[in-house]
Amino acid sequence: MKYSNVKGTHDILKDEQRGYDYIETVFETIAANFCFDKIETPMMEYTDVFARGVGEGSDVVRKEMYTFLDKAGRSVTLRPEYTAGIVRMVISNKMYGNLNSPLKFSYFGPLFRYERPQLGRYREFHQFGVECIGNINYTNDAEVISMASIMLEALGLKKVTVKINTLGGMETRANYKKALVDYFSAHIDKMCDDCNERLKLNPLRILDCKDPNDQEIIAGAPKITDYLTKEDKKAFKETKALLKLLDVKYKVDTSLVRGLDYYSNTIFEFHFVSRKGVDYGAIGGGGHYSNLVKDLGGPELEGVGFSFGIERLYSLLVDNNILKEDKLGVNLYFMPLSQNEVSIALSLANYFRACGYRSEVALNKFKLAANLKEAERRNTDFAIIVAEEELHHESVVVKEMINQQQTIVEIKDLLTFFDKIYQVDRNEDNCHCHEEGHECHCHDDDNDDIN
Ligand code: HAM
């Protein structure tokens, strides 16, 4: 029997994992500087959290959720997105007890959507995102959009298009939905089955339909800009003015509606097209949500947030040579020449790991030529040959891989030897050997106890 990974999932191998870690570190550092705290919510929630939160009319809830009954017959769902779960977390933990300033969270983790797998679209994927929840207004929206732009720039992405639009408040959306129902009702018999259902559940979702036949009809639909109340127009104008002051280069796209039902007022997406014209689609998106907290049983608080898709971000960074492949090499490769030297090689490696060197021990073969080849393949700085002959003199052979130069070094001098080359300053304050329960030898005059 041959097993493969589940359709739409993918193994994240080491270079890609390092890329994800890098992206996460860059984003998290910036989020922390904006005073967002990292949190994590469970990977599954009761289904209602998403059904009510994301909306019964959305494709995510209608078609894409991994939902099942647990052994007690409760319906649970693997999270298809973070926002509804985070709002549930705020309510469950009554985090709004004393809201003098908004709650600010960042997150990174896997999500699950039963979508048709294709380039940049998986059934298990990862997001980094933030949510800002409290007594907030359009200024928080602008701050969050500007933070997202700063994050993308920090990754080296300069040519990202920031699309923004507004869905207005309740009154605007009620009037707009009515206008859409009037318009689409006249065309619905020529539209796909999905759109027929969307018309009943949420006519706004018809605007997301990708069916080329329907798109012609959609192009003639009323535009939300014609239905904005005076208040909503003013709020959007103020948001745009603030974005300008914050130096965010946005484009207003009146056809942008986003696929989740909880949005109101400002919504936004980040798009990237490479120099060669490859369109990576939305690498992230978000918006303001005025009713989600209340809809999930909480008080009248509003929120704004966004999420970046890590798979899309990583592949566009690699494809466009922005994220240089960073293959982590080995600093020190210890090579015992027989079983007799294995324990010395292992304790030397442990000692050097504790001193901060990436160290490897060749444990499976004692063939010097093969191990040197492997060291080369592993991008090693130094091979350390641990052989009986030199051990008699409490020494090892150090071979610098780049120039093949060999030196015999006494074990007691080995740390100083490498520290000099790697320019490690091991005065008391900088020494980390005391950490992780290792005995420190850095300041000893003799290093007998590692022999
Ligand atoms: P979303 O637009 O559904 O928004 O997803 C955000 C990003 O996740 C997308 O722009 C895309 O890069 C990535 N993404 C979505 N689906 C897939 C998939 N199947 N495969 C790979 N990547 C994918 C949200 O999830 C909202 N919760 C964002 C938000 C936060 N709004 C307010 N706060």
pLDDT band of residue 14 (cuts 50, 70, 90) is confident
Task: Kindly report the backbone phi and psi dihedral angles of residue 249, in degrees, each rounded to the nearest multiple of 5, phi listed first.
Answer: -90, 100
Q: CA torsion 354→356→358→360, rounded to 10°? A: -20
Ligand 1 center from residue 309 Cα (angstroms): 6
The secondary structure of 297-317, three-state, reads CCCCCEEEEEEEEHHHHHHHH
Place of tokens 């494809």: 319
Ligand 1 center from residue 285 Cα (angstroms): 6
Q: Say if CB 428 and CB 389 are below 8 A apart.
A: no
Among 279, 307, 314, the mutation site with the greatest number of ligand 1 atoms within 8 A of its Cβ is 307
Report, as an integer, the average pLDDT of 234-252: 96
Residue of the CA atom closest to atom 8 of ligand 1? 309
Q: Which atom of ligand 1 is closest in space to residue 269's alpha carbon?
A: 10
Q: Express as a percent the part of the chain with pLDDT over 70.
A: 94
Res 357 pLDDT > 60: yes
Single out the residue of 344, 140, 13 nearest to residue 148, CA to CA: 140
E strand or H helix at 352:
helix 342-354
Place of tokens 């080359």: 421
Q: What is the pTM of this model?
A: 0.86
Q: Which residues line ligand 1 (CB under 6 A)?
A: 81-83, 113, 115, 120-122, 125, 127, 129, 131, 259-260, 282-287, 305-307, 309, 311-312
E strand or H helix at 171:
helix 170-185
- At 344-354, the pLDDT tens digits run 999 999 999 99
* pLDDT for the residue 324: 64
pLDDT band of residue 338 (cuts 50, 70, 90) is very high
The secondary structure of 208-254 as a DSSP string is G---HHHHHHHHTSPPGGGT--HHHHHHHHHHHHHHHHTT--EEE-T
Res 443 pLDDT > 50: no
Res 110 pLDDT > 80: yes
- At 37-82, the pLDDT tens digits run 999 999 999 999 999 999 998 999 999 999 999 999 999 999 999 9
Single out the residue of 388, 340, 398, 337 nearest to residue 366, CA to CA: 337
* pLDDT for the residue 99: 79
- At 118-151, the pLDDT tens digits run 989 999 999 999 999 999 999 999 999 999 999 9
Q: Which atom of ligand 1 is closest in space to residue 306's alpha carbon?
A: 30
Both tokens assigned to 92 = 């469950």
Q: Say if CB 304 and CB 193 are below 8 A apart.
A: no
* pLDDT for the residue 449: 43
Ligand 1 center from residue 125 Cα (angstroms): 9
Q: Of 380-389, 402-411, 435-444, which range is least confident?
A: 435-444
* pLDDT for the residue 429: 54
Q: What's at 52, amino acid-wise?
A: R
Report, as an integer, the average pLDDT of 101-111: 97
pLDDT band of residue 326 (cuts 50, 70, 90) is low
- At 84-105, the pLDDT tens digits run 999 999 999 999 877 789 999 9
Res 299 pLDDT > 60: yes
Residue of the CA atom closest to atom 2 of ligand 1? 285
Check residues 87 and 281 and name the one with the higher pLDDT: 87
Res 385 pLDDT > 70: yes
Res 451 pLDDT > 70: no
Both tokens assigned to 105 = 């969270």
* pLDDT for the residue 45: 98
Single out the residue of 210, 53, 40, 63 nearest to residue 126, CA to CA: 40
Res 432 pLDDT > 70: no
Instruction: Return the half-sphere exposure (C-beta side, CA atoms, 13 A cut-off) of residue 231.
Output: 9
CA distances from 402 to 93, 379, 380, 382, 395 (A): 57, 9, 9, 8, 22
* pLDDT for the residue 448: 42
Q: Which atom of ligand 1 is closest in space to residue 60's alpha carbon?
A: 3
Instruction: State whether the Cα torsion 275-279-280-282 is positive or negative.
Output: positive
Report, as an integer, the average pLDDT of 387-404: 97
Q: Say if CB 123 and CB 8 are below 8 A apart.
A: yes
- At 183-221, the pLDDT tens digits run 999 999 999 999 999 999 889 999 988 889 999 999 999
Average pLDDT of the chain, as a whole number: 92
Q: What's at 230, amino acid-wise?
A: K
Ligand 1 center from residue 312 Cα (angstroms): 10
Ligand 1 center from residue 269 Cα (angstroms): 10
What region does 356 belong to: left with phi over 0, alpha with psi -120 to 50, or beta?
left
Q: Say if CB 82 and CB 94 are below 8 A apart.
A: no
Report, as an integer, the average pLDDT of 11-33: 94
Q: What's at 286, amino acid-wise?
A: G
* pLDDT for the residue 159: 87
Query: Which class for 347: exposed (0-12), middle (13-18), buried (19 or more C-beta within 10 A)?
Result: middle
CA distances from 286 to 221, 267, 327 (A): 24, 6, 33
Instruction: Please provide the size of the chain in residues.
Output: 451
Angle between helices 342-354 and 414-422 (to 10 degrees): 40
Q: How far is it, in rounded angstroms, from Cα 380 to Cα 438?
A: 25
